[in-house]
Amino acid sequence: MMRQILNLSYKYLHPDLKTCFLYLGAYPEDYVIWKDDLVRQWVAEGFVHGLESAGGYFNQLVNRSMIQPVKIGYDDEVLSCRVHDLMLELIIRKYSVEENFLTAVVGNSQEIKGTVHNVRRLFHYSDVLGRRRSAPALRIGLQKVRSIASCVTDIHQVRFQDMKFLRVLVLELVYNPKDESTTQAVVDLSVICKLLLLRYLKIQSEYLLKLPPQIRMLQHLETLEIASKFDKAGLAIPSDLAQLPRLSYLSILPYMAGGLPANVGTMTQLRSLAFLVLEENTLDSIKSLHHLTNLRELYIISASGDSSAGGDEDETAHVDALQSSLSGLADCKLYLTAWSTWLSRVPQWVGRLRNIYGLEIGVGELCKDGVSVLAGLPAMARLDLWIRSAPTESVVIAGDGFPVLKHLIFTCRALCLTFEAGAMPKLRRLDLEFNDDGGGDGGFGNALVGVEHLAGLRVLSAKIGGFRSAVDAAATTGEEQADDRSAAMSRLRDAIDLHPSRPRVDITYTQGRYGLS
């Protein structure tokens, strides 16, 4: 009966939507599929024109219950999804075979799902335990392939010379555990420049990488995403990167040698740019960002360390240049990671960046001035705040400030929050991470006051640290462990029960402790 329902659901899809749906077979069972990745791959394949239309197709599949939402954003937007096992089986075993749509290889085995002749799309799945295994050597015709996602130990395992029509390439480079010489190897990606029709390139690597010096040959490239465990390896950005006329999504490693090219301002098609270390880029590069009028997302890392007392002149100049550029980009959301090491307190310069949409920051202590700086950010919708020291008084959130904040993640040794009437009027989700002992000796203790003033709150999630492991717990009575958890839960329940809308409450317990590292 269920198969009949699924077959009917698929049969009556619009042809373009049906093609997008079949592409979900690219992802293995139980895999979390991020919307942004998926829709950009649809556009690169030519299934749909424009990211806005592709996003609409994604939402249609959600509304038809053909994909299962996983992560939902502040505005009820589905950000990631999964495909039901039965639906995925139908895609791979039935619908895809009928259309010769895709071929899947499982683990490092010879198990192949789909045709090996005139392959259009080739995807390499992890094995049944989710382990990453290098793809086996298979005799598969790749002359007509348009999309490939594979895991390899050697880039030369991929026969790029056969792939004249390739548009989407997702490549994971992993160590060969049997070959110790590969641990210091450098992978040269120059061979990729032969893929003249490539539109989407995503590489995750356990090796050092060398980007192609003539990347401008990829004139159709729209997405370039590079991730590596060697994020400080001095990987250089190609000097001709700005000569990619269609590049709209660029995600590169922090600390790349030389930073952005001086002519980054000519990359006017960019919509998303990540991850830039503010201090590693020249003032001219930062100032030229104001030319990127299509930019919608900018991810910045500040690695200046503890300069909260005002900062040196160089740092001030970088911040001022960034704010000057962003002042003309009203639609650009700035995501700022404002610490590489613990800051003593919230830097005053953070308050000058008025475009901040998402902020991640860790401070030794949070004083009233710091709260005022954060509360004054007019566009901030997400705040991830870590406090290292045990508080001696509650952090008070007044009724003014935080006008559009929708998600607060508060991590501290103790739960020490007080919300006054009118506080955080748009807040929908509150994530709390604290220890069961309230910060230990001399700490303020755990207290959550005024949750009932958070009018828009829908979800409160709490992770409570400091509980014993199973081995340690065996030395105590079960009643003691249960009492600890009961007391922590009671404090939260008493606070949330005052809220008129009774938000959903999720509580988990962990062995680790918060605010100590």
Instruction: Confirm whether 2-82 and 102-240 share one CATH topology.
Output: no
CA angle (400 as vertex; 394, 402 as ends), nearest 5? 80
H-run or E-run covering 336: strand 333-337
pLDDT at 286: 93
pLDDT at 260: 84
Please give the pLDDT value at position 416: 87
**Could you give phi then psi for residue 90, rounded to 5 degrees?**
-65, -40
Residue with more model confidence, 136 or 63:
63
Question: Higher model confidence: residue 127 or residue 454?
Answer: 454
pLDDT at 53 over 90: yes
Q: Looking at the domain 102-240, which fold is it?
A: 3.80.10
Residue 411, strand partner residues: 386, 433
Distance CA 128, CA 28 (A): 10
What does the pLDDT look like over 363-402, one tens digit per residue? 999 999 999 999 999 999 999 999 988 788 889 999 988 9
Where residue 181 falls among pLDDT bands split at 50, 70, 90? low
Spatial neighbors of 237 by CB under 8 A, at least 6 apart, are: 211, 252, 256, 257, 258, 259, 260, 261
Strand-pair category, 80-82 with 33-34:
antiparallel
| Three-state SS at 193 | helix
Please tell me the predicted confidence (pLDDT) of residue 305: 56
Closest CA to 330 of 358, 308, 355, 351: 355
Closest CA to 293 of 332, 323, 319: 332
CATH number for region 2-82? 1.10.10
DSSP string, 261-287: -TTGGG-TT-SEEEEEEGGGS-HHHHH
Read off the tokens for 394: 């509650």
What is the identity of the amino acid at 366?
L
Residue 90 CA to residue 339 CA, distance in Å, equals 47
Q: What percent of the chain has pLDDT over 70?
A: 84
Distance CA 464, CA 110 (A): 46
Percentage of residues of the chain with pLDDT beyond 90: 48
pTM: 0.88
pLDDT higher than 60, residue 131: no
Report the C-alpha gap between 177 and 153 in whole angstroms.
Answer: 9
- Cα–Cα separations (whole angstroms), residue 109 to 134, 143, 282, 336: 10, 23, 49, 43
Q: Phi and psi of 12, rounded to 5°? A: -95, 15
Rg, Å, the chain Cα set: 25
Q: Report domain extents, the chain.
A: 2-82, 102-240, 389-517
State how far the Cα of 25 lies from the Cα of 15, in Å rounded to an integer: 17
Half-sphere exposure of 444 (CA within 13 A, CB side): 18
